[in-house]
Chains A and B, each alone.
Chain A
Amino acid sequence: MKAYVGIDIGSISTKGVVIDQFGNIIKESYIWTEGNPIKAVKKLINNLKEIPKDIEIKGIGTTGSGRKLIGLMLGANTIKNEITAHAVGTLHFYKDVRTILEIGGQDSKIILLENGIIKDYAMNTLCAAGTGAFLTSQAKRLEVPIEEFGDIALKSNNPVKIASRCTVFAESDLIHKAGVGYNTKDIIAGLCKSIVLNYLNNVGKGKKIKGPIVFQGGVSKNKGVVHYFEEILNEKIIVDKNSHLMGAIGVALLSKERETDKVYTLDIENISFETRGVECNGCSNHCDLVKIYKNNKHIDTFGNKCEVGGK
């Protein structure tokens, strides 16, 4: 049987799937990146390896912020940006989707589609307010596990208004509101609402959001945020049970399109893969170079802007 691997290396979590040729998930894995994509992917691949013996891997795709490095490490046949990957993945399950809202750990994006074609997209540019990282840090401050955030938010009837323009201001506003004596559940609900407002004002600015709307990324698992999206947009929001894996599924599907006779292997445990950061002193630009070594052999350099640094 043929299968394809898709890996989405995000800032917070690393997602991986193995799909068959019809796009059904054979195996999935979701782990924390913890700032070390190489280690995380090795662990992820170890989880993904537990598949039936007769499966032949015909393609590997990578996406997310670590796509280039991990693509090189695994010898992937497809390295795609996360916007395209998410769109392709979502289109596979929802053929008539018009809007994809995606809120991840450190970035958020909106993709508008028409007849299965991407028409417009936007990504957050300046700030992490309105992303998962903001929610996680506030959850820590309130000492509430992030997994329970959504359920608590739904209990509130009176979400607190929180200044959501900027993470730092939101935080000081939150401390102020807590000090004044608002309920924790109202504050949590306010946080969820502020994420939605921030997202719509920044990323969704000037975009016509039409249904069907699919919401994905890690934050889509938060019921509170989904609730406030529905309330504010006045549309039904679809959250797939695999919403956190959509990017990985998308890139696996893309790798299927580029399938050749080559068969890939997931035995990477014994391969030593190392990166070394150096500052190039070729000119006064001082590019930060990342040199990549596979089994102690230099295979590629990232970050150089001219021919001097490539060596």
Chain B
Amino acid sequence: MYKIVIPQMGDYSTPAKYLISHIIDCEIISIPITNKTLELGSSNSPLFVCTPFKYTLGSFIEGLEKGADVLIQFGGGCRYGYYFELQKQILEDLGYKFEMINLITKGEFDYKRIKKEIERLGLKLNKLKTLYYIFLSIKMVKYMDKIDFYIREHIGFEKENGSFIKLKKQMLKDFSTTKNYFHLKYMYLKYKRKFKKIELDNSKRKYKVGIIGELYTLMEPFANYNLEYELAKMGISVKRYTNVNYLLFEKKYKIKDYLSKTKDYIKYKMGADASDNIARCKYLCKHNYDGIIHMKSSFCTPEIGAMPIINKICKKYDVPVLYFSFDTETSEVGVKTRLEAFFDMIEMRRTK
């Protein structure tokens, strides 16, 4: 039986695990990202590559050490699209024996190609079954993202500390036991009710901040020093639009609209999520958000292109913006100091 490693990003290992373990007979290794992952990843990566490369490479090495023989990587719309080949080469040079599959090439999920790749491993893929489980995991991602929206907006105001996180853990555990679509939907509705029942102390609610930026750094709490939670603790409700559901399904339809809304600033798509972030920045500014936080991993080229425009928009609407560029060498204390100052600045602006 094959042992498969999937790279970590936020809580999305739950649906990914669910999907892969149901369509092929295998064991999935998913190890949460820790300092060890980062150390392994960055010591074997080029220095000036963006952090998602380092994190995923670290996850692969950790998995290979645990006896994995198949690695799965996802392509992307920026440099990330080339990471599959590069990482494969690095790992082969390190002397590991493995097979590697890239799920998305040329920005698309090509079923025929994936089928071939899997058959090459000596595994059978049942088309009907595969499509069914893809459908289920897509739904699962959608439901998770919907719940996450609610969590981000309210987690800072829970009366009992940790109740949101506890419930979410339970939800993910239950989701991974999904039997069929109705079961999944039933669970989603049940947990939605439960989340809404969590008691809130709305007197703590003060400000709302929008978070935009590079997708991996946004979605993996380890990569952004749990910034969303730190904000929530200060009494800020957080809005973030980037999630897997958006990237896979909504982006295609929304990008035209986004481009037309920001035609004062950009003419063409800027690669990865840069144009989306500019549009969202404008939206957040227009809707009276108290501040915007833009984060990216260091050397993320599309976002570097977006930053001057974001700066311009924020100046026009007079909304404060804070930029973070996370590297593997960023000090956590520095992040906290800047966040605290950002909060003070928002407070000063609103109260004086």
A125–B325 CB distance below 8 A = yes
Q: Using CB atoms, name the residue of chain A closest to B307.
A: A206
Q: Cβ of A283 < 8 Å from any Cβ of B?
A: yes
Docked pose: A206 CA to B333 CA in angstroms: 25
Q: Which of A21-29, A52-60, A76-84, A260-268 contacts B (4 or more CB under 8 A)?
A: A76-84
| Shortest beta-carbon distance from B232 to chain A in Å | 15
Q: Cβ of B197 < 8 Å from any Cβ of A?
A: no
How many interface residues does B have (CB within 8 Å)? 20
User: CB-CB < 8 A to A117: which residues of B?
Assistant: 348-349, 352
Among A80, A118, A283, contact of B345 (Cβ-Cβ < 8 Å): A118
Q: Label chain B's interface by main secondary structure.
A: helix
A123–B334 CB distance below 8 A = yes
B333–A285 CB distance below 8 A = no
A116–B352 CB distance below 8 A = yes
Docked pose: A65 CA to B338 CA in angstroms: 12
Per-residue contact bits, chain B 336-352, to A (CB 8 Å; 1 contact, 0 not)? 01101100110011001
Per-residue contact bits, chain B 302-333, to A (CB 8 Å; 1 contact, 0 not)? 00000010010000000010000100000001
User: CB-CB < 8 A to A231: which residues of B?
Assistant: none
Q: Using CB atoms, name the residue of chain A closest to B337.
A: A81
Q: Cβ of A157 < 8 Å from any Cβ of B?
A: no
Docked pose: A84 CA to B311 CA in angstroms: 22
User: CB-CB < 8 A to A270: which residues of B?
Assistant: none
A81–B341 CB distance below 8 A = yes
Per-residue contact bits, chain A 32-75, to B (CB 8 Å; 1 contact, 0 not)? 00000000000000000000000000000000010000000000
How many interface residues does A have (CB within 8 Å)? 21
Please count the residue pairs between chain A and chain B whose beta carbons lie under 8 angstroms apart in the complex.
53
Q: Cβ of B116 < 8 Å from any Cβ of A?
A: no
Q: Using CB atoms, name the residue of chain A closest to B346.
A: A118
A206–B341 CB distance below 8 A = no
User: CB-CB < 8 A to A284: which residues of B?
Assistant: 31, 34-36
B320–A119 CB distance below 8 A = yes
Q: Using CB atoms, name the residue of chain B closest to A63.
A: B337
B344–A118 CB distance below 8 A = yes
Contacts A118-B345, A118-B348: A206 and B325 contacting too (C-beta < 8 A)? Answer: no
Q: Label chain A's interface by main secondary structure.
A: loop
| Shortest beta-carbon distance from B37 to chain A in Å | 8
Q: Using CB atoms, name the residue of chain A closest to B330.
A: A125
Docked pose: A53 CA to B192 CA in angstroms: 62
Docked pose: A84 CA to B341 CA in angstroms: 6
User: CB-CB < 8 A to B345: which residues of A?
Assistant: 84, 118-121
User: CB-CB < 8 A to B338: which residues of A?
Assistant: 83, 123
User: CB-CB < 8 A to A65: which residues of B?
Assistant: 333
Q: Cβ of B260 < 8 Å from any Cβ of A?
A: no
Q: Cβ of A305 < 8 Å from any Cβ of B?
A: yes
User: CB-CB < 8 A to A176: which residues of B?
Assistant: none
User: CB-CB < 8 A to B35: which residues of A?
Assistant: 284-287
User: CB-CB < 8 A to A206: which residues of B?
Assistant: 308, 311
A285–B34 CB distance below 8 A = yes
User: CB-CB < 8 A to B325: which residues of A?
Assistant: 125
| Shortest beta-carbon distance from A202 to chain B in Å | 13
Per-residue contact bits, chain A 112-129, to B (CB 8 Å; 1 contact, 0 not)? 000011111101010000
> Top 10 closest A-B pairs, CB basis?
A83-B341, A285-B34, A81-B340, A84-B344, A118-B345, A284-B34, A81-B337, A81-B341, A284-B36, A117-B348
The 27 listed contacts between A and B (C-beta, < 8 Å) are A82-B337, A83-B338, A83-B340, A83-B341, A84-B341, A84-B344, A117-B348, A118-B348, A119-B320, A119-B349, A120-B320, A120-B345, A121-B341, A121-B345, A123-B334, A123-B338, A125-B325, A206-B308, A206-B311, A283-B34, A284-B31, A284-B34, A285-B35, A285-B36, A286-B36, A287-B35, A305-B226
- B residues near A, CB below 8 A? 31, 34-36, 226, 308, 311, 320, 325, 333-334, 337-338, 340-341, 344-345, 348-349, 352
Q: Given A116-B352, A120-B345, output 9 extra A-B contacts at Cβ < 8 Å.
A: A83-B344, A117-B352, A119-B320, A123-B337, A123-B338, A206-B308, A284-B35, A285-B34, A287-B35
